[in-house]
Amino acid sequence: MGRLAQLVQSTWFTPKGSGVRIPHRPQNYSYLLRWLFLFVPMSTFYILYSESLDKYYIGYTDGSIEIRLGKHLSKHKGFTSKAKDWKIVYTEEYENKLEAYKRERL
């Protein structure tokens, strides 16, 4: 097989025609489904605890819980800005934002 044929086989084309080189094309769709699953938006209900305040904070996020904790620990206005020792003590995963919001309000 020639070099051009190898290049074409290892290239996926987007709808606009630009090529994206990848080492191997997946043989079935299970690889693609596993990859897409990583980007399915999930929502997380969480509880934080601050030892210095001896208080809990309840919230939810539709993003990364670690990024959300970082926002709670950053300089901002709000309840969690009163302490810098918040720790995640509990989490629950939900398929959508509405379900996580309902759980937060219980």
Q: pLDDT tens digits for 14-72?
A: 455 455 555 555 556 665 555 555 555 689 999 999 999 999 999 999 888 999 999 99
State whether 28 and 52 are in the same domain.
no
pLDDT at residue 11, rounded to an integer: 47
Q: Which of residues 32 and 89 earns the better pLDDT score?
A: 89
Instruction: Name the residue range of residue 29's domain.
Output: 3-37
Q: Structure pTM?
A: 0.61
Q: At 83, which helix (H) or strand (E)?
A: none
pLDDT at residue 42, rounded to an integer: 83
pLDDT at residue 90, rounded to an integer: 96
State whether 62 and 86 are in the same domain.
yes
How far apart, in whole angstroms, are the C-alpha atoms of residue 10 and residue 17? 15
State whether 47 and 97 are in the same domain.
yes
State whether 97 and 59 are in the same domain.
yes
State whether 52 and 99 are in the same domain.
yes
CA atoms within 13 A on the CB side of 9: 8
